[in-house]
């Protein structure tokens, strides 16, 4: 019984991607997932702060606005994270 025919020497098919190439493709996807997850964790805090900003007590509203500003700053910093 004979094995499969050997590939001809002039086979010009693309080599499999190297580890570096695979990492360069995976990195943006990983970054996007991390950013998505962090934004997902910030969303409930933003919703709660928005609700607190409607509170009758002015001190509570003031604190709610601080929370909103902090969350917005965090979201902006996420956009500025370097690509890896």
Q: Is this structure's pTM higher than 0.75?
A: no
Q: What is the pLDDT of residue 82?
A: 77
Domain that holds residue 43: 25-80
- Would residue 50 count as lying in a domain? yes
DSSP string, the chain: ---PPPPPTT--PPPPPPHHHHHHHHHHHHHHHHHHHHHHHHHHHHHHHHHHTT-SSHHHHHHHHHHHHHHHHHHHHHHHSPP-
Q: What is the pLDDT of residue 26?
A: 66
- Would residue 66 count as lying in a domain? yes
Q: What is the mean pLDDT of residues 44-65?
A: 97
- Would residue 40 count as lying in a domain? yes
- Would residue 19 count as lying in a domain? no
């Amino acid at each position: 019984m004979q094995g499969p025919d050997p590939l001809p020497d002039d086979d010009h098919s693309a080599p499999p991607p190297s580890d570096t190439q695979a990492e360069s493709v995976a990195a943006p996807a990983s970054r996007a997932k991390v950013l998505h997850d962090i934004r997902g964790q910030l969303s409930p805090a933003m919703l709660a702060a928005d609700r607190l900003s409607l509170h009758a007590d002015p001190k509570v509203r003031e604190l709610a606005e601080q929370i909103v500003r902090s969350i917005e700053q965090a979201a902006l910093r996420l956009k500025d994270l370097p690509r890896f």
